[in-house]
Amino acid sequence: MTAPNELRLLPWSSSDGKPCYLNTDDKTGYMSRLADNIEAVQLGTAAELLEHASDTLNDQDTDPEDMRLLAKELTGSLRDVLRIATSRGHLLVVSEPHHS
């Protein structure tokens, strides 16, 4: 099994907002593939939202409520992308060979 310091941070949280981790050596297992797919969707959503944000910010007629909704969506997306970056960064560190 995976060592405790090699747990994969999953791209979702528990119902009470705590991080979820995967403990497996099988990078092609169901839960690993599910996490990979969810990360891909989250990154795609972030890219689409970024394009939408650029259009919205360039529109002089955007009302404050639309801007507030955009900020809320961007915050959620940034949280997802940060979790993915943290997880992948940790996986890179764990997979690097140790030099003595």
Per residue in 5-29, pLDDT (tens digit) is: 578 999 999 999 999 999 988 889 9
The 8-class DSSP code of residue 24 comes to: -
Q: Using alpha carbons, select from 57, 88, 85, 82 the residue that is nearest to residue 71.
A: 57
Neighbouring C-beta atoms of residue 42, cutoff 10 Å? 19
Helix (H, G, I), strand (E, B) or coil at 11: strand
Neighbouring C-beta atoms of residue 85, cutoff 10 Å? 10
Q: 95 versus 59: which is more confidently predicted?
A: 59
**Helix 64-95, helix 30-58: angle, nearest 10:** 140
Mean of the per-residue pLDDT values for the chain?
88
Q: Is the pLDDT of residue 72 over 80?
A: yes
Determine the Cα–Cα distance for residues 98 and 9; give it in Å rounded to an integer: 21
Mean pLDDT of 47-52: 95
Q: Using alpha carbons, select from 100, 10, 85, 15 the residue that is nearest to residue 46.
A: 85
Mean pLDDT of 70-86: 95
